[in-house]
Amino acid sequence: MQSRPGHPATRPAGGHADRETGGGRSIEVDFFRGIVLIVIVLDHIPGSTLSHLMLHAYALCDSAEVFVFLGGYASAAAYTAVLAGRGEGAAKMRFFKRCWEIYRAYLLTAVLTLASGAILALLHLNPPMVELTGWQPFAAQPLHAALDIAVLRRQPYLSSVLPMYVMFALCVPFAVPLARRSPLTALTLSLAIWALARPLAAFFSIDDMADWAFNPFAWQLMFVLGMLCRVQPIGERFHTSRAARWLTWFAVAAALSFAIVKLFVLTQPIPGSFKQNLSPDRVINFIVIAWLAAQFVRMGSIAWLARRLPAVVTVGRTGLVCFVAGTVVSLVVDTATPHMFHGFRGVLIGLGGDLVAIGAVLMIARGWQGWKSQPPRAATHGAGCG
């Protein structure tokens, strides 16, 4: 990955990885997206063993920042590809349709979450997860709760990241051209909205953690950074300069410092509002880690790894499907995993559940891609008759 100075870095458009995959796609970005989607599933399994080794364990940021950042990068890539091939009108229409796709995915995720909660409650299984799904308040006032879900006032467990993606997709046709024309203006505007995120959320009545787990006015910064990295990459000349080498050493030191603080200094859980409103320390921690990841991309290490793990790349290319299906996978695996064991036995059981969850996500991605790649029977038959 590459970026402007001070931004997380991504590989420039038209780079070697993009030529490999075709269609403007980057195998590194798809690989990172696949990893993040799998991590999100594991992070939502309370008994997971592998989740203790994920980004949130040694950094102040977590997979959410990576997910939103890559979403901005991929959105900018898709918009510019359609713009170059079919024009501005088609590019705008593509993202207006994308809003509807994401909204439907949100509703489906909410339905699956509530249905899972209902089944668990009926079978008297996993009471903590029943509470997290929000089934009980929904059952008490189903019509009122359904309306709240439809208008985004209430977002069931695991579906809360998608509503802000609806807003971001709406803004892509306006944000990407601005980022291409005047990146400094786009970044300044994004930073200003981020700084005013809390009063803006209060004004629109979405500042309650029970309503919006992610403040979209704050998290748009991650999305915009991803877009800027796609449309305004820095050149190889800077990356080979002494300044870039110093930046890399600074990023290493900063990442280690954040890890020490997280592991040894912060003994109490960090308030949820820090993540909800994307606190500055999370942004800085993400940027230094993203810069380091970019150096591995430049060296070809990520592409080499991606080519040897194509199943993970497939997950990244079927992101929305894997996100929705992953909610059910995490709920099922958590319910099926015994929680009464501790110590080494508990670690082994948790690891077994992790492997089942990873395998399920990989199979879902492969199955969906295989189904999508098949030509429609009706279209094939019609072509034969014509």
Are 118 and 134 a contacting pair, CB within 8 Å? no
pLDDT > 60? residue 82? yes
Place of tokens 């082994």: 348
228: pLDDT confidence band, cut at 50, 70 and 90?
A: very high
pLDDT > 90? residue 300? yes
Q: What is the pTM assigned to this prediction?
A: 0.88
Place of tokens 């985004």: 152
| Predicted confidence (pLDDT) per residue in 321-345, tens digit | 999 999 999 999 999 888 777 888 8
The CA distance from 233 to 236, in Å, is: 9
Tell me, what's the pLDDT at 346? 87
Tell me, what's the pLDDT at 10? 39
8: pLDDT confidence band, cut at 50, 70 and 90?
A: very low
Are 213 and 155 a contacting pair, CB within 8 Å? yes
Are 332 and 126 a contacting pair, CB within 8 Å? no
The CA distance from 346 to 88, in Å, is: 55
Question: CA nearest 116: which of 156, 161, 160, 162?
Answer: 156
How does DSSP classify residue 51? G
pLDDT > 60? residue 226? yes
The CA distance from 292 to 248, in Å, is: 7
Are 63 and 97 a contacting pair, CB within 8 Å? no
Q: How far is CA 145 from the centre of its chain?
A: 26
pLDDT > 50? residue 196? yes
pLDDT > 60? residue 7? no
The CA distance from 278 to 190, in Å, is: 13
Question: CA nearest 224: which of 2, 5, 6, 7?
Answer: 7
The phi-psi region of residue 183 (left if phi > 0; otherwise alpha if psi is between -120 and 50; otherwise beta) is alpha
Place of tokens 């901005």: 72
Sign of the CA dihedral with 346 first, then 348, 351, and 352 last = negative
Average pLDDT of the chain, as a whole number: 87
pLDDT > 60? residue 19? no
Tell me, what's the pLDDT at 24? 56
